């Protein structure tokens, strides 16, 4: 059997399981997720041992400390993974929700109801917790998953997926509802992408290379969890103390997050007054500043920015600074450099704010708040599978509702047309 055939078979098994899940009541799914959480706890020694082997291999390979930290499971982290599953149990099941009802003049009743999507393929990188989080969220929404994690976490993911499947089986649900692709080969990604008809949706969560490969090969819908080149525009009519607080938070509270700001745009009318102060504050937070030619005169400590800087997701204590001619300048800059993720304006002027919120084409547009709030938890979704930078089906944080499709249930009394 080839890798391609094996992946096909595994997707067929997931598809079959998805049929069962689609008509499994909420209580049975919840009971299964509780069994999964328990199985993770029961199997903690085996999971931690598998993870230790992954970590040892990663260290031998010389992976960076940050990578190794992302990979590492501790008893506390594993307990957190089990706990996250229990939190998903507590969320309401979206399947069967009536989104809208239409009563037609001919007496037909048309209910638009949420359904599972079917089989969701998720391709991700190093963190092993993603294996469980993803499978649990998808299962809650009635979907089977085909998972492909990073090669360096393969042993950990295998142990976690086995615990997941064991929990499902204990609760009487099909083990095949969660399939881990048992190949670390690069070709596994294109092979998954070829399973249109079996996989209904693929979600790549990773770097540029992965997303590009998936978009190139996928013959089914793709929702990209892509980069965040987020801007904060400080308008001339901003409360500058608020603006400073928001910029510092958007950059420094977690620079590695996709909702962190990469560029601050300052209205030319206040550049001379505001930028030097902002630059000093950021420098005191050890943020490296990259200033455009227009910003540099106001930020003597900064490095001159290269054109590439404005298209780079730094994910680090690095911030680009640009001076723009008011709102129109900000809108033009964001249209050119933004990644459609999260964009913020700080202004006290209602009309300026409205025009910014209307005009910026991004998943989340903010007035007087930090871009860091783009997050399923902060939005009140309870949990999220990622943040879509696409515009079809799901945009922004993806919660349970975004993991569903819908169908129309039409009931009549013999109507014909």
Contact pick of 42, 129, 281, 405 for its own copies (by CB under 8 A): 405
Residues 180-219 that bind its own copies (CB under 8 A): 196, 200-201, 215-216, 219
Q: What DSSP string describes 306-324? A: PGGGGG----SSEEEEEEE
Residue 19 CB, nearest distance to its own copies (Å)? 7
Q: What DSSP string describes 74-118? A: -HHHHHHHHHHHHHHHHSPP-TT-EEEEEE-TTS-EEEEEEEE--
Residue 161 CB, nearest distance to its own copies (Å)? 25
Binding of its own copies at residue 79 (CB under 8 A)?
no
How many residues in the shown chain lie near its own copies by CB under 8 A?
67
Residues 267-326 that bind its own copies (CB under 8 A): none
Binding of its own copies at residue 232 (CB under 8 A)?
no
Q: Are 220 and 196 in contact (CB under 8 A)?
A: yes
Nearer Cβ to its own copies (14/78): 14
Helices (H), 43-74: 44-61, 65-71
Nearest to 369 by CA among 397, 334, 344: 344
Alpha-carbon distances, residue 315 vs 155, 253, 261, 280 (angstroms): 28, 11, 9, 21
Nearer Cβ to its own copies (155/337): 337
x/- string (CB under 8 A) for its own copies, residues 350-379? ---x---xxx-xxxxxxxxxx-xxx---xx
Alpha-carbon gap, residue 82 to 231, rounded angstroms: 36
Nearer Cβ to its own copies (82/246): 246
Binding of its own copies at residue 411 (CB under 8 A)?
yes
Burial of 131 (0-12, 13-18, 19+ CB in 10 A): buried
Tokens at 175, concatenated: 């083990």
Contact pick of 61, 104, 208, 285 for its own copies (by CB under 8 A): 104
Q: Which residues are within 8 A (CB) of 19 and not within 5 positions of it... i.e. 6 or more apart?
A: none
Binding of its own copies at residue 161 (CB under 8 A)?
no
- Residues of this chain that interact with its own copies (CB under 8 A) are 19, 22-23, 102, 104, 108, 110, 115, 117-118, 196, 200-201, 215-216, 219, 221-223, 239, 242, 245-246, 248-250, 253, 335, 353, 357-359, 361-370, 372-374, 378-380, 390-393, 395-396, 405-417
């Amino acid at each position: 059997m080839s890798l391609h055939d094996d992946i096909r078979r595994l997707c067929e098994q997931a598809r079959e399981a998805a049929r069962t899940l689609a008509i499994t009541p909420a209580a049975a799914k919840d009971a299964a997720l509780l069994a999964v959480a328990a199985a993770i706890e029961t199997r903690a020694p085996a999971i931690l041992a598998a993870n230790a082997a992954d970590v040892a291999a990663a260290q031998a390979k010389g992976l960076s400390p940050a990578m190794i930290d992302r990979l590492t499971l501790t008893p506390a982290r594993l307990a957190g993974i089990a706990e996250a599953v229990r939190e998903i149990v507590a969320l309401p099941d979206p399947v069967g929700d009536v989104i809208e009802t239409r009563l037609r003049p001919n007496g037909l009743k048309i209910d638009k109801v949420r359904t599972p999507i079917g089989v969701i393929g998720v391709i991700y990188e190093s963190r092993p917790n993603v294996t469980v989080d993803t499978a649990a969220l998808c299962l809650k929404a009635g979907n089977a998953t085909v998972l492909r994690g990073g090669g360096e976490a393969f042993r950990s993911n295998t142990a976690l997926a086995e615990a997941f499947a064991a929990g499902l089986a204990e609760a009487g649900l099909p083990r095949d509802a969660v399939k881990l692709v048992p190949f670390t080969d690069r070709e596994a990604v294109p092979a998954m992408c070829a399973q249109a008809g079996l996989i209904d949706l693929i979600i790549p969560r990773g770097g540029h290379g992965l997303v590009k490969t998936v978009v190139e090969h996928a013959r089914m819908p793709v929702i990209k969890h892509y980069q965040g080149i987020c801007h904060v525009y400080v308008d001339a009519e901003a409360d500058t103390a608020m603006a400073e607080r928001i910029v510092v938070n958007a950059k420094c509270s977690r620079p590695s997050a996709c909702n962190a700001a990469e560029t601050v745009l300052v209205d030319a009318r206040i550049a001379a007054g505001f930028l030097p102060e902002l630059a000093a504050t950021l420098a005191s937070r050890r943020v490296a500043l990259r200033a455009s030619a227009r910003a540099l005169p106001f930020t003597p400590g900064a490095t001159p920015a290269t054109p590439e800087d404005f298209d780079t997701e730094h994910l680090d204590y690095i911030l680009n600074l640009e001076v723009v001619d008011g709102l129109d300048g900000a809108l033009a800059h964001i249209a050119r450099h933004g990644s459609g993720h999260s964009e913020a304006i700080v202004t006290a002027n209602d009309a300026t704010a409205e025009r910014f919120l209307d005009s910026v084409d991004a998943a989340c547009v903010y007035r007087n708040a930090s871009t860091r709030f783009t997050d399923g938890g902060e939005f009140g979704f309870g949990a999220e599978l990622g943040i879509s930078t696409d515009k079809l089906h799901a945009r922004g944080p993806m919660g349970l509702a975004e993991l569903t499709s819908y169908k129309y249930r039409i009931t009549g009394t013999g109507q014909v047309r």
